[in-house]
Structure 1
Amino acid sequence: MTAPRTLIAGRILTGSMGLDQGLLVIDGGRITYAGPENEYARQMPADIHRLAPDTMVLPGLVDLHCHGGFGTDFPSAGQEAARNAIGCLHRSGTTTLLASLVTASREDLLRAVSSFSALAAEGLIAGIHLEGPFLSRDRCGAQNPEWIRDPDLDLADELISAARGTVRTMTYAPELPRAAELVDLLISRGVVPSIGHTDADAVTTRHFLLRAHRQMSNADAGADSSAGTGAGGVRTGTVTHLFNGMPPIHHRSPGPVPACLQAAAAGKAVIELIADDTHLDPGIVSAVFDLVGAGNIALVTDSMAAAGLADGTYALGPSTVQVHDGVARLSTNGAIAGGTATMLDVLQRTVAAGVAAQDAVRAASATPARILGLSGEVGELRPGLRADLITVTTGFQLQAVMRSGAWLEPLHPRTP
């Protein structure tokens, strides 16, 4: 039997469209119409979903950097616990996500990528993000320095192969030996290289961002591929949680941050921002949007097991984390250890920081979808795309969630 059509009428807001009297038509899990209600030619059914005046529909949110949530730590979780947490994240409005893994032993990483590749095959996640292990020990943050190492091409290739094509991004430090060879390997295997947890200077950072941009552009020449596409339609590398895990700007020693901003402003990199009011001051978030534009920013959570839950003691890989007033810190040294906000929280706080709602939505949906090569599937509300959407109040409080055309029971996380 053919599933009945679903029609949603009311305010629509995406990264490219704002309609006060819009209409979405969903058939077979796909959007078949998205536009003004008065231009829809077919007869309206009696059971149309009409949104309240203070409610709007957005694309489902896309998170490139997520270590878990709702009590589950992805790096150490079994499949069932991970599956349950992913379901909670979907119900909180994050309908597409990568499972992020922290630096660990070879054996633990191989186990984790194999496990999460199966969940990717089920369509529960869009793939895997490897945050390490080829990082700077001086900028390790909450990463375990015991397992940080210089780039090992055999290990990188082994992890990518064990993940059966589901590793989408890898964070690396460009100043390390053989980093250039690592970038070459990642790009050749379809993995987006992401600079982060780095002590690199500005020259090194700029060189590696431009190298990734050039090589990814060349790899796409003559090919029909949108993976990693930047705002101008050109593939780019990314920057893992800009400002965090790297030296601050100094006027005589600028470090990596200005080079990342320059590359992003030129459409040659996409930068992650953890806009949760803990990792970044709201003024910094607003300034970066003004400097580089929403098409070159991916809002992320960097969430860990405590996301969506109350304060307490949680895990991040092998480390113990204490959460107080919504801030997660390592028990050993007090370093910030991931985020506790959901993507919808991050979106709301970005708008509260002064970013235009349409720009914030774009950075939480369309831009990260392009990095994943999923612009033809998710991240917008237009005909042909998968029917992933959320309805929220004008204050960005969650009302309803749809994924692949099916309504999910919305989950309202407890946040500080």
Structure 2
Amino acid sequence: MAHTPVTLTNARVVTPGGVHDGWLRVEDGLVAALGSGEPSPGGESSDVGGAWVVPGMVDTHVHGGAGHAFPDADPEGAGEIIAFNRARGVTSLVGGLVAATPEDTVRQVSVLAELCDAGELAGIYLEGPFIARSKCGAHDPDLLREPDTAEFDRWLAAGRGHVRMITVAPELPGASELIRAAASSGVVAAVGHTEASYEQTLAAFDAGASVATHLYNAMRPLNHRDPGPIAAALGDERVTVELILDNVHVHPGAAGLVFGAAGADRVSLVTDAMSATGLGDGEYTLGDLRVRVSGGEARLVENGAIASSTIVLPQAVRNAVEGLGVGVPEAVRSASSVPAAALGLEGRGRIEAGGRADLVVLDEDLTVRDVMYRGEWVA
């Protein structure tokens, strides 16, 4: 059904080519045109007062929110996570799973694949179980195992083409074979939750891995004589590095080094958010593990390890701009076009003529004023 065209005027539009000052016209769920001066008459017109108009943000590493978690394999709960994020400017999500039994993983992937078929999710992300026990973070160590391409193939079958990324620790037996299998299947292999050396990490990138999972967190630390995966990822132009910019997971001083070394076009802002996001302090679960949230900071009850974040992606953009001095267009791209490109999500995270009208209007302080999804206002 055709919808009334909408023209946003007096806008600062973040496009792949830079900032466009002028107007943007939306027709039938798509960006019809961008221009300057007086737009052609017709349809509705909305003067945004010089506000930023940015692409709908893309969170490629998120586990939950609004009291629900993707590993629960509950379609209604997953829908609540999606709606919660969409209303806050995150129009594309890749549903993140954590380490589980082989049978549970197949079931979870199957449920999320249905949401992908319906266009609600942009894909499925497997964070584990092929990760290092010593760097398990908030994953149950008893559920971790060595990479197994046969098991991976079962997940691919259950996912019906929607599995987008899997994290692997390169030092594990069979990791190289798994990375090659992922790459040949069109699945992004990410390096993370790992004790890998610099050399082992570079070998993983040579085998086809192209993302570093939440850089710094749950990986061998940077040392000047043992640089490990952090230096390997920052120095490799083929690699996109995830960064959880909630000012808890990574100190702003260390986060600034990432933008300086990799540049905004290789930094993918992610939340790694859990079910507590949007709710408040209290006790929750991540997979089968108990998590306590205090002051917005989530930690495992058992050992105090950091367990996911409780932010939504626009907060990471604000933290990049206000805390690190990253330019607004660069920070926005790190939360939209960069993650979309890293996972091959065509048509997402970009504002361009003919593209999907997933748009976010940001006030001067970068708070979300309005959200448009497929050409319809949702918040």
Q: TM-score range with shorter-chain normalisation?
A: over 0.9
Amino acid of the structure 2 residue aligned with 1:11: R
How far 1:44 moved relative to its partner?
A: 5.5
One-letter amino acid of the counterpart of residue 263, structure 2:
G
Q: Which residue of 1 aligns with 2:337?
A: 366
Question: Residues of 1 paired with 2:219 and 2:294: CA distance?
Answer: 24
1:13: how far off? 2.6
Query: How big is the shift at 1:401?
Result: 0.6
Question: 2:41 aligned with 1:43, yes or no?
Answer: yes
- The structural deviation recorded for 1:19 is 2.9
Per-residue deviation, residues 39-84 of structure 1 (Å, max 9, x unmatched): x4x2355x3010124x221110001100011111111241111112
The answer to whether residue 75 in structure 2 is matched with residue 79 in structure 1 is: yes
Code of the residue aligned with 1:7 in structure 2: it is: T
Give, in whole Å, the separation in 2 of the partners of 1:179 and 1:347: 33
Tell me the distance in 1 between the aligned counterparts of 2:263 and 2:15.
Answer: 15
Determine if the alignment matches structure 1 residue 350 to structure 2 residue 320.
yes
Structure 1 residue aligned with 2:235: 262
Matched, 1:203 2:199: yes
Other structure's SS at 1:155 match: helix
Cα distance, 1:36–1:378 mapped onto 2, change above 3 Å: farther
Among candidates 94, 97, 109, match of residue 98 of structure 1: 94
Q: How many residues align?
A: 377
Give the equivalent residue in structure 2 for 1:232.
none
What corresponds to 2:270 in structure 1? Answer: 300
Q: In the alignment, is the contact (CA less than 8 A) between 2:298 and 2:308 conserved in 1?
A: yes
1:19 is aligned to 20
Alpha-carbon distance between aligned partners in 1 of 2:81 and 2:134, rounded to the nearest angstrom? 32
The equivalent residue for 1:218 is none
- Within a 5 Å distance, the mapping from 1:330-409 to structure 2 comes to 330-352=300-322, 353-375=324-346, 377-408=347-378
1:56 is the counterpart of 2:52: yes
Q: For the residues of structure 1 that align with 2:291 and 2:310, how far apart are their CA atoms?
A: 11
Match of 1:249 in 2: 222
**Which AA in structure 2 matches 1:249?**
L
Structure 1: distance between partners of 2:345 and 2:183: 17
C-alpha contact (below 8 Å) 2:15/2:352 kept by paired residues: no
Output the amino acid matched with 1:370.
A
Residue 15 (structure 1) shift: 5.0
**79-88 or 128-137, larger mean C-alpha shift:** 79-88
Q: Mark the runs of 5 or more structure 2 residues left unpaired by the alignment.
A: none
RMSD: 1.4
Q: For 1:35 and 1:290, how far apart are their aligned partners in 2? A: 33
CA distance in 2, matches of 1:339, 1:2: 40
Q: Per the alignment, do residues 354 and 177 of structure 1 end up closer, same or farther by CA in structure 2, a change over 3 Å counting?
A: same
1:325 correspondence with 2:295:
yes
Return the letter of the residue paired with 1:273.
L
Letter in 1 for 2:339: P
Of 7-16 and 96-105, the range deviating more from structure 2: 7-16
Do structure 1's residue 238 and structure 2's residue 208 form an aligned pair? Answer: no
The 3-state SS of whatever aligns with 2:61 is: coil
C-alpha deviation, 1:211, in angstroms: 2.5
Does the CA-based 8 Å contact 1:11-1:51 persist in structure 2?
no
- The one-letter code of the counterpart of 1:347 is V
Report the AA paired with residue 219 of structure 2. M
Letter in 2 for 1:72: H
Contact 1:59 1:365 in 2 (8 A): yes
Q: Distance in 2 between matches of 1:37 and 1:130?
A: 47
What is the 5 A alignment of 1:210-229? Answer: 210-212=206-208
Secondary structure of 1:64's match?
strand
Listed as ranges, the gaps of 5+ residues in structure 1 are: 214-236, 411-416
Worse overlay, 61-70 or 26-35: 26-35
1:371 to partner: Cα distance: 1.8
- CA distance in 1 between counterparts of 2:90 and 2:219 reads 27
Give the aligned partner of residue 147 of structure 1.
Answer: 143
TM-score, with length taken from structure 1: 0.88
- C-alpha separation between the residues in 2 aligned to 1:328 and 1:198? 21
**Superposition deviation, residue 133 in structure 1:** 0.6
What is the Cα deviation at residue 11 of structure 1?
A: 2.1
More deviation, 80-89/165-174? 80-89
Tell whether the 8 Å contact from 2:282 to 2:294 is kept in structure 1 after alignment.
yes
